[in-house]
């Protein structure tokens, strides 16, 4: 037979029978198994197996008691381990208190738990367990050297002390040790010898003695009567004036005191008449007009012997009449050829053609004579010099490579900037004294192998396309040779590195 309620299947039928009413339980002691083993109507009565202490007692951990619950022993009332926090307690019950806190460097627990480095107007740090000031916020200083009250001194450091009524150097003194600027006080006339004093927010102040002077300058006599540092200022003495003439006849001068010492006159000389008009962007004949009816013989041009006869080639790259060394100018009526001015670039072929033709008395081109854009063949002959053997327009050894003799891609026009910088230069620039085709006694033709490319009159496969010769400031030496004829463009195009040159055929 299988006794009931003992939890053992003694007859091997797969179950342990419950105790029926009136049946005596098998065990004498009820185990903790969530069953009514003793058939008294109570499950696990008497807390079987319970009552013993359980859990840890280290640090903040407190032991509990074992209780029979749900058929098993459970530790009830114990305080277990928690994460360690900075509270002067052993939260994780490992015999160490606050071991994870960096008391030497933690600004929230500097030296001890909860000691926060919150310093007024300061950027704090924790060093060696003590709050320190790393830096003060703008407008505050740590005047007393104590970290506890932060940057307690409100002051915006401006620099060394100056006379302005402000504590510039934040030393709690105002305007101390300041020295007036040299020659601050008026030393003219009766005011000489006055010393400046600091007047706070008013700055330096000069207190003058009462001089014997005119309150307002009334005499034009080369004296500083009112002691204001200026002589005869009420009359405009020294101001610019002119003789009233036009153009190159205009002369400047200054107003000077008149003989009566009560006014001024202009001392500019009278010219009266000018000189014949030249191609220079100036009103040479003093009639109020520029370059009108000019003598084109004044345009510098060098005679070049060609197969078709002598052709006069502009000595310099063409420029606008009003060009200067720093500006290319704006006048587009006709071309000039002058040294030390910026050449005329960003010009279409049509504009270059018209600018050359405008040098003729008729203002236009007719036939093959007169002023006109240079033919490519004439241009090349001019570049090759009288020998006809020059590879480049160089003064000496003109058939040997000399990449920086002319203004090309190899020349660095700004040595202060890394790399080779390219830029346009003035005509006949002194930086390139040998950049010229030497035509002996006839003269020199400048910048044929560099600075700017040059439109020519020669067509290339179409009446609308024309050859460009000479190379420019951003072309390598091989592309600046006399015979290099690869470049051509439509007559409506314009380029920052392309200009032109005019030729005159008798």
Q: Over the stretch 193-217, which tens digit does the pLDDT of each residue have?
A: 888 999 999 999 988 776 767 778 8
Dist. CA 431–CA 133, nearest whole Å: 60
Please report the pLDDT score of residue 42 as a whole number.
Answer: 86
pLDDT bin (cut points 50, 70, 90) of residue 299 is very high
Side-chain half-sphere exposure of 222, counting CA atoms within 13 A: 5
> Which of residues 262 and 489 earns the better pLDDT score?
489
Torsion-angle region of residue 295: left (phi > 0), alpha (psi -120 to 50) or beta? beta
Is residue 21 scored above 80 in pLDDT? Answer: no
Collapsing DSSP to helix, strand or coil, 479 comes out as: helix
Integer CA distances (angstroms), 99 to 58, 90, 299, in order: 15, 9, 96
What average pLDDT score do residues 158-174 get? 90
Please report the pLDDT score of residue 217 as a whole number.
Answer: 84
Please report the pLDDT score of residue 3 as a whole number.
Answer: 59
> Which of residues 56 and 412 earns the better pLDDT score?
412
Collapsing DSSP to helix, strand or coil, 275 comes out as: coil
Q: Is the dihedral of CA 288, 294, 300, 306 positive or negative?
A: positive
Read off the pLDDT of residues 359-407 as tens digits, 9 standing for 90 and up: 999 999 988 899 999 999 999 999 999 999 999 999 999 999 999 999 9
pLDDT bin (cut points 50, 70, 90) of residue 8 is low
Q: How many CB atoms lie within 10 A of CB 310?
A: 12
Q: How many CB atoms lie within 10 A of CB 163?
A: 22
What average pLDDT score do residues 457-480 get? 97
| Rounded-to-10 torsion of CA 245, 248, 252, 258 | -40
- DSSP state letter for 18: P
Integer CA distances (angstroms), 164 to 178, 179, 181, 182, 279, in order: 10, 12, 13, 17, 60
Question: Which domains are delineated in the chain?
Answer: 49-98 (no CATH), 219-274 (no CATH), 299-506 (3.90.1580.10)
Is residue 17 scored above 70 in pLDDT? Answer: no
Read off the pLDDT of residues 407-459 as tens digits, 9 standing for 90 and up: 999 999 999 999 999 999 999 999 999 999 999 999 999 999 999 999 999 99
What average pLDDT score do residues 210-238 get? 83
User: What pTM was computed for the model?
Assistant: 0.51
Please report the pLDDT score of residue 5 as a whole number.
Answer: 57
Is residue 280 scored above 80 in pLDDT? Answer: no
Is residue 20 scored above 80 in pLDDT? Answer: no
Dist. CA 264–CA 269, nearest whole Å: 15
- State phi, psi for 382 to the nearest 5 degrees: -60, -40
Give the chain's largest Cα–Cα span.
158
Collapsing DSSP to helix, strand or coil, 442 comes out as: helix
Please report the pLDDT score of residue 128 as a whole number.
Answer: 92
Please report the pLDDT score of residue 148 as a whole number.
Answer: 87
């Amino acid at each position: 037979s299988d006794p009931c309620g003992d939890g053992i299947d003694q007859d091997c039928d797969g179950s342990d029978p419950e105790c029926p009413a009136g049946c005596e339980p098998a065990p004498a002691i009820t185990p903790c198994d969530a069953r009514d083993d003793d058939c008294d109507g109570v499950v696990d009565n008497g807390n079987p197996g319970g009552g013993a202490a359980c859990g840890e007692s280290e640090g903040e951990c407190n032991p509990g008691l074992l209780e029979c619950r749900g058929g098993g022993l459970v530790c009830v009332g114990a305080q277990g381990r928690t994460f360690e926090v900075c509270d002067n307690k052993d939260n994780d019950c490992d015999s160490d208190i606050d071991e994870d806190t960096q008391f030497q460097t933690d600004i929230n627990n500097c030296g001890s738990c909860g000691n926060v480095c919150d310093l007024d107007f300061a950027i704090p740090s924790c060093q060696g367990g003590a709050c320190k000031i790393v830096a003060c916020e703008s407008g505050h200083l740590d005047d007393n050297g104590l970290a506890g009250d932060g940057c307690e001194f409100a002051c915006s450091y401006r620099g060394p002390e100056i006379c302005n009524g402000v504590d510039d150097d934040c030393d709690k003194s105002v305007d101390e040790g300041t020295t007036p600027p040299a020659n601050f006080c008026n030393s003219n006339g009766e005011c000489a010898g006055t010393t400046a004093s600091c007047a706070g927010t008013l700055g330096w102040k000069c207190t003058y003695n009462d001089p014997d002077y005119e309150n307002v300058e009334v005499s034009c006599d080369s004296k500083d009567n009112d002691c204001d540092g200026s002589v005869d200022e009420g009359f405009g003495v020294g101001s610019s004036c002119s003789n009233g003439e036009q153009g190159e006849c205009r002369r400047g001068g200054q107003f000077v005191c008149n003989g009566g010492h009560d006014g001024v006159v202009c001392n500019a000389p009278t010219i009266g008449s000018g000189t014949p008009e030249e191609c220079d962007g100036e009103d040479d004949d003093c009639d109020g007009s520029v370059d009108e009816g000019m003598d084109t013989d004044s345009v510098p041009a060098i005679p070049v012997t060609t197969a078709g006869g002598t052709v006069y080639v502009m000595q310099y790259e063409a420029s606008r009449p009003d060009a200067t060394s720093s500006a290319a100018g704006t006048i587009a009526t006709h071309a000039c050829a002058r040294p030390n001015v910026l050449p005329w670039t960003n010009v279409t072929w049509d504009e270059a053609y018209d600018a050359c033709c405008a040098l003729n008395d008729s203002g236009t081109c007719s036939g093959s004579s007169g002023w006109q854009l240079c033919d490519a063949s004439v241009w090349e002959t001019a570049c090759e010099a009288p020998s006809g053997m020059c590879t480049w327009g160089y003064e000496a050894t003109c058939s040997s490579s000399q990449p920086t003799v002319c203004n090309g891609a190899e020349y660095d026009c700004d040595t202060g900037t890394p790399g080779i910088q390219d830029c346009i230069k003035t005509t006949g620039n002194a930086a390139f004294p040998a950049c010229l085709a030497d035509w002996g006694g006839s003269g020199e033709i400048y910048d044929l192998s560099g600075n700017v490319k040059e439109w020519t009159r020669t067509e290339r496969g179409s009446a609308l396309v024309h050859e460009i010769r000479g190379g420019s400031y951003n072309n390598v030496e091989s592309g600046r040779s006399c015979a290099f004829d690869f470049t051509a463009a439509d007559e409506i195009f314009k380029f920052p590195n392309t200009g032109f040159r005019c030729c005159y055929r008798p």
